[in-house]
Amino acid sequence: MKLLTIFLCILIASCSVIAGPQKSSGVPVSINKIETHRVNDYLIRIIKHNMELDPKIELELFQPPEMNLKDYLSITSVKTPERLYLFKESEGVFVEDIKVNKGTVEITFEYYIPNSEAIRLDCKIPTSAKGFDPITCSRI
């Protein structure tokens, strides 16, 4: 009987450990999508946040096989020759398309200007052995 009581105590204790609170993966809730692309000898990781919670896109450039971070870019606004478009000051900004084409990251945004219309912004971020080159954007 004593052995059965010890067994039941151990069983109940192990069940409470199994049913304990779940741990998070550590990935922020604001992250919507993560993509990785191979460009020449480098890897580009594109981290797309939920644009309603945290309007930004992050780019990371890694050099394999050690996976050393060569460059990092956080996009929270875009500038065209006409003006600066801050994501947090919009009525909404959404990523319409992201692609990597021959070493250039191409992002198309739909930007809602406060009390006005929605516009499309086409941005290009070239990459080189040094890292990310300056972003160029145009209104389309």
7 domain residue, yes or no? no
5 domain residue, yes or no? no
17 domain residue, yes or no? no
Distance CA 135, CA 5 (A): 69
Are 43 and 103 spatial neighbours (Cβ–Cβ below 8 Å)? Answer: no
4 domain residue, yes or no? no
Cis peptide upstream of residue 65 (ω within 30 degrees of 0): yes
Are 69 and 58 spatial neighbours (Cβ–Cβ below 8 Å)? Answer: no
59 domain residue, yes or no? yes
73 domain residue, yes or no? yes
Among residues 140, 134, 71, the alpha carbon closest in space to that of 111 is found at 140
Among residues 65, 18, 21, 20, the alpha carbon closest in space to that of 43 is found at 65
Structure tokens at 26: 């550590």
Are 111 and 119 spatial neighbours (Cβ–Cβ below 8 Å)? Answer: yes
Q: What is the model's pLDDT at position 41? A: 86
- Structural domains counted in the chain: 1
Q: Output the tens digit of pLDDT for each of the chain's 140 residues.
A: 565 555 545 555 555 445 456 676 677 777 888 999 998 889 999 999 988 888 999 999 999 889 999 999 999 999 999 999 999 999 999 999 999 998 899 999 999 999 889 999 999 999 988 899 999 999 98
In which domain, by residue range, is 120 found?
28-139
Q: What is the model's pLDDT at position 24? A: 66
Burial class of residue 125 in the structure, from the number of CB atoms within 10 Å of its CB (0-12 exposed, 13-18 middle, 19+ buried) = buried
Distance CA 105, CA 112 (A): 22
18 domain residue, yes or no? no
16 domain residue, yes or no? no
